[in-house]
Structure 1
Amino acid sequence: MSTTPAVAKTNAVRAEGLWKAYGHGEAQVVALRDVSIEFATGQYTAIMGPSGSGKSTLMHCLAGLDYTDHGVVNVGDTQITGMGDKALTKMRREKIGFIFQQFNLLPTLTAEENILLPLGIAGKKPDSEWVSRIVKVLDLGDRLKHRPSELSGGQQQRVACARALASRPDVVFADEPTGNLDTKSGTEVLRFLRQSVDEFNQTIVMVTHDPVAASYADRVVILADGQIVDELQSPTAETVLDKMKHFEEIVAAKEEANQAADAGEAR
Protein backbone atom coordinates (compact mmCIF):
# COMPACT_ATOMS: atom_id res chain seq x y z
CA MET A 1 0.00 0.00 0.00
CA SER A 2 1.45 3.37 -1.01
CA THR A 3 1.58 6.20 1.45
CA THR A 4 1.67 9.93 0.85
CA PRO A 5 4.48 11.65 2.72
CA ALA A 6 3.39 14.26 5.22
CA VAL A 7 3.98 17.87 4.20
CA ALA A 8 6.15 19.70 6.69
CA LYS A 9 4.45 22.75 8.14
CA THR A 10 6.59 25.83 7.66
CA ASN A 11 7.21 28.47 10.29
CA ALA A 12 6.76 32.15 9.54
CA VAL A 13 8.73 33.02 12.68
CA ARG A 14 10.88 30.93 15.01
CA ALA A 15 12.81 31.90 18.12
CA GLU A 16 15.25 29.84 20.18
CA GLY A 17 16.61 30.64 23.63
CA LEU A 18 15.76 34.35 23.75
CA TRP A 19 17.09 36.35 26.68
CA LYS A 20 16.57 40.08 27.10
CA ALA A 21 17.40 42.27 30.10
CA TYR A 22 17.20 46.01 30.73
CA GLY A 23 19.45 47.89 33.17
CA HIS A 24 22.36 46.65 35.21
CA GLY A 25 23.12 45.37 38.70
CA GLU A 26 20.34 45.57 41.25
CA ALA A 27 18.25 47.67 38.86
CA GLN A 28 18.35 45.04 36.13
CA VAL A 29 15.02 43.73 34.88
CA VAL A 30 14.99 40.45 32.94
CA ALA A 31 12.22 40.77 30.34
CA LEU A 32 12.73 37.42 28.55
CA ARG A 33 14.11 34.21 30.08
CA ASP A 34 15.18 31.52 27.61
CA VAL A 35 12.06 31.78 25.42
CA SER A 36 11.73 29.36 22.48
CA ILE A 37 8.62 29.50 20.30
CA GLU A 38 7.41 28.86 16.74
CA PHE A 39 4.65 30.51 14.73
CA ALA A 40 3.38 28.37 11.88
CA THR A 41 2.54 29.96 8.55
CA GLY A 42 -1.16 30.75 8.32
CA GLN A 43 -1.70 30.67 12.08
CA TYR A 44 -3.17 33.35 14.34
CA THR A 45 -1.48 33.53 17.76
CA ALA A 46 -2.42 35.76 20.68
CA ILE A 47 0.21 36.53 23.32
CA MET A 48 -1.19 37.31 26.76
CA GLY A 49 0.10 37.99 30.25
CA PRO A 50 0.05 40.68 32.94
CA SER A 51 1.88 43.98 32.58
CA GLY A 52 5.60 43.35 32.81
CA SER A 53 5.33 39.73 31.68
CA GLY A 54 7.49 40.35 28.60
CA LYS A 55 4.88 40.02 25.86
CA SER A 56 5.62 43.33 24.11
CA THR A 57 9.37 42.74 24.46
CA LEU A 58 8.94 39.32 22.86
CA MET A 59 7.00 40.78 19.95
CA HIS A 60 9.58 43.54 19.43
CA CYS A 61 12.43 41.01 19.41
CA LEU A 62 10.58 38.72 16.99
CA ALA A 63 9.91 41.66 14.67
CA GLY A 64 13.47 42.95 14.74
CA LEU A 65 12.45 46.16 16.54
CA ASP A 66 14.66 45.31 19.51
CA TYR A 67 17.83 43.28 19.98
CA THR A 68 18.15 40.19 22.14
CA ASP A 69 21.00 39.54 24.56
CA HIS A 70 21.11 35.84 23.65
CA GLY A 71 19.18 33.56 21.31
CA VAL A 72 18.24 33.45 17.66
CA VAL A 73 15.21 34.73 15.71
CA ASN A 74 14.31 33.56 12.20
CA VAL A 75 11.67 35.20 10.00
CA GLY A 76 10.93 32.60 7.37
CA ASP A 77 14.31 31.28 6.23
CA THR A 78 16.12 34.46 7.24
CA GLN A 79 18.02 34.71 10.51
CA ILE A 80 17.57 38.29 11.67
CA THR A 81 19.75 37.93 14.77
CA GLY A 82 23.04 39.74 14.14
CA MET A 83 21.74 41.69 11.13
CA GLY A 84 22.96 45.24 10.64
CA ASP A 85 20.47 48.10 10.82
CA LYS A 86 20.26 48.58 7.05
CA ALA A 87 19.61 44.90 6.31
CA LEU A 88 17.15 44.69 9.19
CA THR A 89 15.19 47.70 7.93
CA LYS A 90 15.03 46.16 4.44
CA MET A 91 13.87 42.83 5.86
CA ARG A 92 11.10 44.47 7.91
CA ARG A 93 9.85 46.35 4.85
CA GLU A 94 9.70 43.17 2.78
CA LYS A 95 8.62 40.48 5.23
CA ILE A 96 6.86 42.10 8.20
CA GLY A 97 3.67 44.10 8.67
CA PHE A 98 2.81 46.09 11.79
CA ILE A 99 -0.47 47.14 13.37
CA PHE A 100 -0.19 49.33 16.45
CA GLN A 101 -2.67 50.55 19.04
CA GLN A 102 -2.09 54.18 18.02
CA PHE A 103 -2.73 53.55 14.27
CA ASN A 104 0.46 55.50 13.28
CA LEU A 105 -1.08 57.03 10.15
CA LEU A 106 0.46 60.16 8.61
CA PRO A 107 -2.13 62.96 9.02
CA THR A 108 -1.25 64.76 5.78
CA LEU A 109 -1.78 61.68 3.60
CA THR A 110 -5.05 60.16 2.43
CA ALA A 111 -6.08 56.67 3.46
CA GLU A 112 -4.93 55.33 0.10
CA GLU A 113 -1.56 57.08 0.37
CA ASN A 114 -1.08 55.71 3.90
CA ILE A 115 -1.85 52.19 2.69
CA LEU A 116 0.69 52.41 -0.14
CA LEU A 117 3.37 54.34 1.77
CA PRO A 118 5.54 51.36 2.86
CA LEU A 119 5.60 50.04 -0.70
CA GLY A 120 6.67 53.46 -1.98
CA ILE A 121 9.45 53.70 0.59
CA ALA A 122 10.65 50.24 -0.44
CA GLY A 123 10.59 51.28 -4.11
CA LYS A 124 8.02 48.63 -4.98
CA LYS A 125 5.08 48.91 -7.31
CA PRO A 126 1.82 47.91 -5.57
CA ASP A 127 -0.10 44.88 -6.74
CA SER A 128 -3.31 46.77 -7.55
CA GLU A 129 -5.45 43.62 -7.63
CA TRP A 130 -4.20 42.53 -4.19
CA VAL A 131 -4.63 46.01 -2.65
CA SER A 132 -8.13 46.32 -4.14
CA ARG A 133 -9.06 42.97 -2.59
CA ILE A 134 -7.89 44.09 0.85
CA VAL A 135 -9.68 47.44 0.51
CA LYS A 136 -12.89 45.65 -0.46
CA VAL A 137 -12.71 43.20 2.45
CA LEU A 138 -12.10 46.10 4.86
CA ASP A 139 -14.91 48.16 3.31
CA LEU A 140 -12.67 51.18 2.72
CA GLY A 141 -13.56 51.86 -0.90
CA ASP A 142 -15.40 55.11 -0.18
CA ARG A 143 -12.80 56.33 2.33
CA LEU A 144 -9.60 56.13 0.28
CA LYS A 145 -9.44 59.87 -0.43
CA HIS A 146 -10.10 60.85 3.19
CA ARG A 147 -7.35 61.91 5.58
CA PRO A 148 -7.09 60.28 9.04
CA SER A 149 -8.81 63.25 10.74
CA GLU A 150 -11.85 62.56 8.55
CA LEU A 151 -12.04 58.90 9.60
CA SER A 152 -13.41 57.22 12.71
CA GLY A 153 -11.06 55.30 15.00
CA GLY A 154 -12.27 52.02 13.56
CA GLN A 155 -11.73 53.24 10.00
CA GLN A 156 -8.22 54.45 10.85
CA GLN A 157 -7.33 51.05 12.28
CA ARG A 158 -8.74 49.33 9.20
CA VAL A 159 -6.48 51.56 7.08
CA ALA A 160 -3.58 50.47 9.29
CA CYS A 161 -4.58 46.84 8.70
CA ALA A 162 -4.65 47.38 4.93
CA ARG A 163 -1.23 49.06 5.09
CA ALA A 164 0.18 46.10 7.03
CA LEU A 165 -1.03 43.57 4.44
CA ALA A 166 -0.41 45.59 1.27
CA SER A 167 3.11 44.23 0.80
CA ARG A 168 2.04 40.60 1.43
CA PRO A 169 4.34 40.18 4.44
CA ASP A 170 5.36 36.82 5.87
CA VAL A 171 3.92 37.85 9.23
CA VAL A 172 1.88 40.69 10.73
CA PHE A 173 2.58 41.77 14.31
CA ALA A 174 -0.35 43.47 16.02
CA ASP A 175 0.26 45.24 19.34
CA GLU A 176 -3.07 45.75 21.17
CA PRO A 177 -4.78 46.57 17.84
CA THR A 178 -8.21 47.10 19.46
CA GLY A 179 -6.98 48.94 22.55
CA ASN A 180 -8.21 52.37 21.38
CA LEU A 181 -11.42 51.17 19.72
CA ASP A 182 -15.03 50.80 20.83
CA THR A 183 -16.51 47.30 20.88
CA LYS A 184 -18.06 47.50 17.40
CA SER A 185 -14.93 48.86 15.71
CA GLY A 186 -12.72 46.42 17.60
CA THR A 187 -14.87 43.50 16.47
CA GLU A 188 -14.57 44.63 12.84
CA VAL A 189 -10.76 44.69 13.09
CA LEU A 190 -10.60 41.29 14.82
CA ARG A 191 -12.88 39.74 12.21
CA PHE A 192 -10.62 41.05 9.47
CA LEU A 193 -7.51 39.64 11.14
CA ARG A 194 -9.27 36.28 11.41
CA GLN A 195 -10.37 36.52 7.77
CA SER A 196 -6.84 37.40 6.63
CA VAL A 197 -5.64 34.12 8.17
CA ASP A 198 -8.50 32.01 6.78
CA GLU A 199 -8.64 33.52 3.27
CA PHE A 200 -5.16 34.97 2.66
CA ASN A 201 -3.12 32.40 4.68
CA GLN A 202 -1.66 35.33 6.61
CA THR A 203 0.31 34.77 9.82
CA ILE A 204 -0.77 36.99 12.73
CA VAL A 205 0.99 37.46 16.07
CA MET A 206 -1.09 39.67 18.36
CA VAL A 207 -0.36 41.02 21.84
CA THR A 208 -3.55 41.60 23.81
CA HIS A 209 -5.01 41.87 27.32
CA ASP A 210 -8.53 41.11 26.07
CA PRO A 211 -9.90 37.52 26.34
CA VAL A 212 -12.49 38.30 23.65
CA ALA A 213 -9.76 39.46 21.25
CA ALA A 214 -7.71 36.37 22.08
CA SER A 215 -10.68 34.14 21.24
CA TYR A 216 -10.28 35.04 17.55
CA ALA A 217 -6.85 33.35 17.53
CA ASP A 218 -5.92 29.72 16.83
CA ARG A 219 -3.87 29.57 20.02
CA VAL A 220 -3.02 31.69 23.03
CA VAL A 221 0.49 31.83 24.49
CA ILE A 222 0.63 33.00 28.12
CA LEU A 223 3.71 34.72 29.53
CA ALA A 224 4.75 35.50 33.10
CA ASP A 225 8.06 36.92 34.31
CA GLY A 226 9.55 36.63 30.83
CA GLN A 227 8.70 32.94 30.37
CA ILE A 228 6.04 31.00 28.50
CA VAL A 229 3.99 29.38 31.27
CA ASP A 230 1.07 27.92 29.29
CA GLU A 231 -0.63 27.61 25.90
CA LEU A 232 -4.24 27.24 24.90
CA GLN A 233 -5.40 25.80 21.56
CA SER A 234 -8.68 26.83 19.85
CA PRO A 235 -9.48 29.37 22.57
CA THR A 236 -12.84 30.85 23.46
CA ALA A 237 -13.37 33.94 25.60
CA GLU A 238 -14.54 31.63 28.40
CA THR A 239 -11.53 29.30 28.29
CA VAL A 240 -9.14 32.25 28.17
CA LEU A 241 -10.87 33.84 31.17
CA ASP A 242 -10.67 30.54 33.03
CA LYS A 243 -6.92 30.33 32.33
CA MET A 244 -6.36 33.86 33.58
CA LYS A 245 -8.42 33.17 36.74
CA HIS A 246 -6.00 30.36 37.56
CA PHE A 247 -2.97 32.36 36.43
CA GLU A 248 -1.16 32.26 39.79
CA GLU A 249 -1.56 28.48 39.99
CA ILE A 250 -0.18 28.09 36.45
CA VAL A 251 2.83 30.28 37.27
CA ALA A 252 3.48 28.35 40.50
CA ALA A 253 3.34 25.02 38.64
CA LYS A 254 5.78 26.35 36.02
CA GLU A 255 8.16 27.54 38.72
CA GLU A 256 7.97 24.17 40.46
CA ALA A 257 8.74 22.39 37.19
CA ASN A 258 11.72 24.72 36.59
CA GLN A 259 13.08 24.03 40.05
CA ALA A 260 12.71 20.28 39.56
CA ALA A 261 14.52 20.50 36.22
CA ASP A 262 17.32 22.56 37.78
CA ALA A 263 17.67 20.05 40.60
CA GLY A 264 17.86 17.20 38.08
CA GLU A 265 20.62 18.96 36.14
CA ALA A 266 22.53 19.63 39.37
CA ARG A 267 22.55 15.88 40.09
Structure 2
Amino acid sequence: MPLSTPPAPQSLQHAPGPQHRRPAVTATGLWRAYGSGEAQVVALRDVSVAFAAGRFTAIMGPSGSGKSTLMHCLAGLDTTDRGTVDIGGTIITGMGDKALTKLRRDKIGFIFQQFNLLPTLTAEENILLPASIAGAKADPAWISQIIRTLDLQERLTHKPTELSGGQQQRVACARALATRPEVIFADEPTGNLDTRSSGEVLRFLRKSVDDFGQTIVMVTHDPSAAAYADRVVFLADGQIVRDLDRPTADAVIDTMRGFENRVPLAGEAA
Protein backbone atom coordinates (compact mmCIF):
# COMPACT_ATOMS: atom_id res chain seq x y z
CA MET A 1 0.00 0.00 0.00
CA PRO A 2 1.40 3.43 -0.91
CA LEU A 3 2.67 5.42 2.03
CA SER A 4 1.02 8.64 3.12
CA THR A 5 1.88 12.01 1.64
CA PRO A 6 2.67 14.96 3.90
CA PRO A 7 0.06 17.72 3.91
CA ALA A 8 0.65 20.73 1.72
CA PRO A 9 2.11 23.65 3.66
CA GLN A 10 -0.51 26.04 5.05
CA SER A 11 1.24 28.92 3.27
CA LEU A 12 1.10 27.19 -0.11
CA GLN A 13 0.23 29.74 -2.77
CA HIS A 14 -1.67 28.40 -5.75
CA ALA A 15 -1.27 29.88 -9.20
CA PRO A 16 -3.83 32.40 -10.48
CA GLY A 17 -7.12 31.16 -11.89
CA PRO A 18 -7.57 30.01 -15.49
CA GLN A 19 -8.72 33.38 -16.82
CA HIS A 20 -6.62 34.59 -19.75
CA ARG A 21 -4.63 31.35 -19.81
CA ARG A 22 -4.63 29.34 -23.01
CA PRO A 23 -5.37 25.62 -22.72
CA ALA A 24 -2.31 23.40 -22.90
CA VAL A 25 -4.52 20.32 -23.30
CA THR A 26 -8.17 20.10 -24.32
CA ALA A 27 -10.39 17.04 -24.45
CA THR A 28 -13.71 17.26 -26.27
CA GLY A 29 -16.43 14.61 -26.12
CA LEU A 30 -14.16 11.69 -25.18
CA TRP A 31 -15.64 8.20 -25.12
CA ARG A 32 -13.66 5.07 -24.34
CA ALA A 33 -15.03 1.56 -23.84
CA TYR A 34 -13.36 -1.82 -23.50
CA GLY A 35 -14.89 -5.15 -24.52
CA SER A 36 -18.28 -5.63 -26.16
CA GLY A 37 -21.80 -6.78 -25.44
CA GLU A 38 -22.65 -7.55 -21.83
CA ALA A 39 -18.94 -7.60 -20.97
CA GLN A 40 -18.36 -4.05 -22.21
CA VAL A 41 -16.93 -1.57 -19.69
CA VAL A 42 -17.36 2.13 -20.43
CA ALA A 43 -14.39 4.00 -18.96
CA LEU A 44 -15.10 7.50 -20.32
CA ARG A 45 -18.51 8.95 -21.13
CA ASP A 46 -18.51 12.13 -23.22
CA VAL A 47 -15.74 13.84 -21.22
CA SER A 48 -14.88 17.43 -22.13
CA VAL A 49 -12.26 19.30 -20.12
CA ALA A 50 -9.48 21.85 -20.67
CA PHE A 51 -6.23 22.19 -18.74
CA ALA A 52 -4.82 25.71 -18.68
CA ALA A 53 -1.15 26.30 -19.42
CA GLY A 54 1.04 27.00 -16.43
CA ARG A 55 -1.26 25.32 -13.91
CA PHE A 56 -1.08 22.20 -11.77
CA THR A 57 -4.21 20.03 -12.05
CA ALA A 58 -4.95 16.83 -10.14
CA ILE A 59 -7.37 14.19 -11.41
CA MET A 60 -9.13 12.14 -8.75
CA GLY A 61 -12.00 9.70 -8.40
CA PRO A 62 -12.94 6.34 -6.90
CA SER A 63 -11.52 3.11 -8.26
CA GLY A 64 -12.83 2.51 -11.76
CA SER A 65 -13.87 6.14 -12.26
CA GLY A 66 -11.83 6.49 -15.46
CA LYS A 67 -9.11 8.81 -14.17
CA SER A 68 -6.18 6.73 -15.46
CA THR A 69 -7.96 6.12 -18.77
CA LEU A 70 -8.49 9.85 -19.16
CA MET A 71 -4.80 10.56 -18.57
CA HIS A 72 -3.75 7.84 -21.02
CA CYS A 73 -6.05 9.25 -23.70
CA LEU A 74 -4.86 12.83 -23.05
CA ALA A 75 -1.24 11.71 -23.39
CA GLY A 76 -1.81 9.67 -26.54
CA LEU A 77 -1.00 6.41 -24.73
CA ASP A 78 -4.48 5.05 -25.43
CA THR A 79 -6.93 5.57 -28.27
CA THR A 80 -10.43 7.02 -27.99
CA ASP A 81 -13.65 5.69 -29.50
CA ARG A 82 -15.02 9.18 -30.09
CA GLY A 83 -13.91 12.71 -29.36
CA THR A 84 -10.70 14.69 -29.76
CA VAL A 85 -7.61 15.62 -27.75
CA ASP A 86 -5.69 18.82 -28.53
CA ILE A 87 -2.18 19.38 -27.15
CA GLY A 88 -0.63 22.77 -27.77
CA GLY A 89 -2.88 23.41 -30.76
CA THR A 90 -2.32 19.98 -32.34
CA ILE A 91 -5.15 17.43 -32.56
CA ILE A 92 -3.55 14.12 -31.59
CA THR A 93 -6.56 11.82 -32.01
CA GLY A 94 -6.29 9.95 -35.27
CA MET A 95 -2.55 10.54 -35.60
CA GLY A 96 -0.39 7.74 -36.98
CA ASP A 97 2.06 5.97 -34.69
CA LYS A 98 5.12 7.75 -36.06
CA ALA A 99 3.62 11.24 -35.72
CA LEU A 100 2.25 10.44 -32.28
CA THR A 101 5.62 9.16 -31.09
CA LYS A 102 7.27 12.37 -32.26
CA LEU A 103 4.64 14.53 -30.58
CA ARG A 104 5.00 12.68 -27.27
CA ARG A 105 8.77 13.06 -27.50
CA ASP A 106 8.63 16.79 -28.28
CA LYS A 107 5.63 18.06 -26.32
CA ILE A 108 4.96 15.68 -23.43
CA GLY A 109 6.86 14.71 -20.30
CA PHE A 110 5.95 11.67 -18.20
CA ILE A 111 6.43 10.84 -14.52
CA PHE A 112 5.32 7.35 -13.50
CA GLN A 113 4.82 5.65 -10.16
CA GLN A 114 7.49 3.06 -11.02
CA PHE A 115 10.11 5.71 -12.04
CA ASN A 116 10.88 3.91 -15.37
CA LEU A 117 14.58 4.76 -15.35
CA LEU A 118 16.95 2.72 -17.49
CA PRO A 119 19.08 0.68 -15.06
CA THR A 120 22.20 0.70 -17.21
CA LEU A 121 22.35 4.51 -17.43
CA THR A 122 23.54 6.98 -14.83
CA ALA A 123 21.18 9.59 -13.39
CA GLU A 124 22.59 12.22 -15.76
CA GLU A 125 22.23 9.93 -18.78
CA ASN A 126 18.62 9.18 -17.81
CA ILE A 127 17.89 12.91 -17.53
CA LEU A 128 19.38 13.61 -20.97
CA LEU A 129 17.79 10.59 -22.63
CA PRO A 130 14.72 12.34 -24.19
CA ALA A 131 16.91 14.92 -25.92
CA SER A 132 19.31 12.20 -27.02
CA ILE A 133 16.50 10.14 -28.56
CA ALA A 134 15.23 13.23 -30.36
CA GLY A 135 18.69 13.88 -31.76
CA ALA A 136 18.72 17.29 -30.09
CA LYS A 137 21.20 18.95 -27.75
CA ALA A 138 19.75 19.75 -24.35
CA ASP A 139 20.14 23.32 -23.10
CA PRO A 140 23.02 23.03 -20.56
CA ALA A 141 21.84 26.04 -18.52
CA TRP A 142 18.31 24.66 -18.27
CA ILE A 143 19.49 21.17 -17.31
CA SER A 144 21.81 22.64 -14.67
CA GLN A 145 18.96 24.68 -13.22
CA ILE A 146 16.73 21.61 -12.94
CA ILE A 147 19.51 19.54 -11.36
CA ARG A 148 20.22 22.25 -8.79
CA THR A 149 16.54 22.70 -8.00
CA LEU A 150 16.18 18.96 -7.40
CA ASP A 151 19.46 18.77 -5.47
CA LEU A 152 20.85 16.03 -7.71
CA GLN A 153 24.37 17.44 -8.20
CA GLU A 154 25.98 14.69 -6.12
CA ARG A 155 23.98 11.86 -7.72
CA LEU A 156 24.58 12.38 -11.43
CA THR A 157 27.07 9.52 -11.82
CA HIS A 158 24.95 7.04 -9.83
CA LYS A 159 22.83 4.38 -11.50
CA PRO A 160 19.21 3.81 -10.37
CA THR A 161 20.12 0.88 -8.09
CA GLU A 162 22.44 3.23 -6.21
CA LEU A 163 19.67 5.76 -5.55
CA SER A 164 16.83 5.83 -3.04
CA GLY A 165 13.24 5.80 -4.26
CA GLY A 166 12.93 9.53 -3.69
CA GLN A 167 16.15 10.21 -5.60
CA GLN A 168 15.00 8.03 -8.48
CA GLN A 169 11.72 9.93 -8.72
CA ARG A 170 13.59 13.25 -8.64
CA VAL A 171 15.69 11.99 -11.58
CA ALA A 172 12.43 11.07 -13.33
CA CYS A 173 11.13 14.60 -12.67
CA ALA A 174 14.30 16.11 -14.14
CA ARG A 175 14.00 13.86 -17.19
CA ALA A 176 10.38 14.93 -17.71
CA LEU A 177 11.35 18.61 -17.64
CA ALA A 178 14.54 18.31 -19.68
CA THR A 179 12.95 19.12 -23.05
CA ARG A 180 10.61 21.83 -21.69
CA PRO A 181 7.49 19.95 -22.76
CA GLU A 182 4.07 21.46 -23.38
CA VAL A 183 2.68 19.39 -20.52
CA ILE A 184 3.86 16.85 -17.96
CA PHE A 185 1.57 13.94 -17.10
CA ALA A 186 2.26 12.44 -13.67
CA ASP A 187 0.63 9.10 -12.86
CA GLU A 188 0.58 8.55 -9.06
CA PRO A 189 4.10 10.05 -8.83
CA THR A 190 4.30 9.60 -5.04
CA GLY A 191 2.64 6.18 -4.89
CA ASN A 192 5.88 4.31 -4.11
CA LEU A 193 7.50 6.93 -1.89
CA ASP A 194 7.73 7.52 1.84
CA THR A 195 6.34 10.68 3.41
CA ARG A 196 9.55 12.71 3.18
CA SER A 197 10.28 11.77 -0.43
CA SER A 198 6.66 12.41 -1.41
CA GLY A 199 6.89 15.91 -0.02
CA GLU A 200 10.12 16.59 -1.93
CA VAL A 201 8.60 15.50 -5.23
CA LEU A 202 5.34 17.39 -4.72
CA ARG A 203 7.13 20.58 -3.69
CA PHE A 204 9.23 20.34 -6.85
CA LEU A 205 6.15 19.85 -9.03
CA ARG A 206 4.60 22.89 -7.38
CA LYS A 207 7.81 24.90 -7.90
CA SER A 208 8.06 23.86 -11.55
CA VAL A 209 4.64 25.44 -12.12
CA ASP A 210 5.26 28.57 -10.04
CA ASP A 211 8.85 29.26 -11.13
CA PHE A 212 9.14 27.62 -14.57
CA GLY A 213 5.57 28.01 -15.86
CA GLN A 214 5.23 24.26 -16.40
CA THR A 215 1.83 22.62 -16.97
CA ILE A 216 1.21 19.49 -14.91
CA VAL A 217 -1.68 17.04 -14.96
CA MET A 218 -1.44 14.48 -12.15
CA VAL A 219 -3.54 11.43 -11.35
CA THR A 220 -3.56 10.73 -7.63
CA HIS A 221 -5.65 8.98 -4.98
CA ASP A 222 -4.13 11.05 -2.16
CA PRO A 223 -5.99 14.17 -0.89
CA SER A 224 -2.78 15.61 0.59
CA ALA A 225 -1.02 15.30 -2.78
CA ALA A 226 -4.00 16.88 -4.56
CA ALA A 227 -3.78 19.86 -2.19
CA TYR A 228 -0.52 20.88 -3.90
CA ALA A 229 -2.47 21.46 -7.13
CA ASP A 230 -4.30 24.58 -8.30
CA ARG A 231 -7.33 22.57 -9.29
CA VAL A 232 -8.80 19.11 -8.82
CA VAL A 233 -11.02 17.45 -11.44
CA PHE A 234 -13.16 14.62 -10.01
CA LEU A 235 -14.42 11.73 -12.10
CA ALA A 236 -17.12 9.16 -11.34
CA ASP A 237 -18.83 6.75 -13.73
CA GLY A 238 -16.42 7.94 -16.46
CA GLN A 239 -17.72 11.50 -16.22
CA ILE A 240 -16.49 14.73 -14.65
CA VAL A 241 -18.69 15.36 -11.63
CA ARG A 242 -16.85 18.13 -9.78
CA ASP A 243 -14.21 20.75 -10.50
CA LEU A 244 -12.53 22.24 -7.42
CA ASP A 245 -10.23 25.29 -7.51
CA ARG A 246 -7.67 26.05 -4.77
CA PRO A 247 -8.17 22.68 -3.10
CA THR A 248 -7.35 21.78 0.46
CA ALA A 249 -6.93 18.21 1.68
CA ASP A 250 -10.12 18.53 3.76
CA ALA A 251 -12.15 19.79 0.80
CA VAL A 252 -10.87 16.91 -1.32
CA ILE A 253 -11.73 14.38 1.38
CA ASP A 254 -15.24 15.80 1.75
CA THR A 255 -15.77 15.58 -2.00
CA MET A 256 -14.50 12.02 -2.18
CA ARG A 257 -16.84 10.99 0.65
CA GLY A 258 -19.73 11.90 -1.60
CA PHE A 259 -18.74 9.02 -3.89
CA GLU A 260 -18.79 6.33 -1.19
CA ASN A 261 -22.47 5.45 -1.52
CA ARG A 262 -22.66 5.98 -5.25
CA VAL A 263 -24.62 3.38 -7.23
CA PRO A 264 -22.52 2.20 -10.21
CA LEU A 265 -23.91 2.70 -13.69
CA ALA A 266 -24.41 -0.26 -16.00
CA GLY A 267 -21.14 -1.08 -17.69
CA GLU A 268 -19.09 1.00 -15.26
CA ALA A 269 -15.52 -0.08 -14.61
CA ALA A 270 -15.03 -1.99 -11.37
TM-score (norm 1): 0.90
Q: Structure 2: which amino acid aligns with 1:117?
A: L
Shift, 1:8, TM fit: 3.9
Q: Does 1:92 align with 2:132?
A: no
Distance 2:218 2:133 in 1: 25
**Identity in percent:** 74
1:47 equivalent to 2:54? Answer no
Identify the match of residue 67 of structure 1 among 60, 65, 79: 79
- The amino acid of 1:25's aligned partner reads G
Q: 2 CA distance for matches of 1:169 and 1:85?
A: 19
Out of 152, 156, 159, the residue aligned to residue 164 of structure 2 is 152
Judging by fraction of residues, say which structure has more helix.
1
Match of 1:11 among 15, 23, 32: 23
User: Residue 259 of structure 1 aligns with which residue?
Assistant: none
In structure 1, the residue matched to 2:236 is: 224
The answer on whether the counterparts of 2:62 and 2:259 sit within 8 Å (CA) in structure 1 is: no
Counterpart residue type for residue 162 of structure 1: A
Contiguous gaps of at least 5 residues in structure 2: 1-18, 266-270
**In the TM superposition, what are the counterparts of 1:1-267 in structure 2 within 5 Å?**
8-248=20-260
SS in 2 for 1:229: strand
Query: d(CA) in 1 for partners of 2:110 and 2:80?
Result: 19
CA RMSD of aligned residues (A): 1.2
Q: Give distance in 2, aligned partners of 1:201 and 1:145.
A: 29
In the alignment, the residues of structure 2 paired with residue 246 and residue 30 of structure 1 have an alpha-carbon distance, to the nearest angstrom, of 21
Distance 2:160 2:46 in 1: 41
- Once the two structures are TM-superposed, the CA of residue 18 in structure 1 deviates from its matched residue by 0.1
Q: Deviations over 1:103-127 (max 9, x none)?
A: 0000010000000011100111000
Task: Determine helix, strand or coil for the equivalent of 1:72.
Answer: strand
What runs of 5+ residues in structure 1 fail to find an aligned partner? 1-6, 256-267
Please say if residues 62 and 256 of structure 2, whose CA atoms lie closer than 8 Å, have aligned partners that are also in contact: no
Q: CA deviation at 1:173?
A: 0.1
Measured after TM superposition, the shift of residue 65 of structure 1 is 0.5
Structure 2 match to 1:4 = none
Aligned partner letter, 1:29 = V
Larger Rg: 1
Report the Cα offset of residue 244 of structure 1. 1.2
C-alpha separation between the residues in 2 aligned to 1:186 and 1:8?
32
TM-score normalised by L of structure 2: 0.89
Which residue of 1 is the match for residue 9 of structure 2?
none
TM superposition shift of 1:242? 1.2
Distance apart, 1:245 and its partner CA: 1.7
SS at match of 2:104: helix
CA–CA separation in structure 2 for the residues paired with 1:245 and 1:53:
14
- What is the CA distance between 1:248 and its match in structure 2? 4.6
Q: Deviations over 1:157-182 (max 9, x none)?
A: 00000000000000000000000000
Determine the C-alpha separation between the residues in 1 that align with 2:20 and 2:240: 25
Letter in 1 for 2:82: H
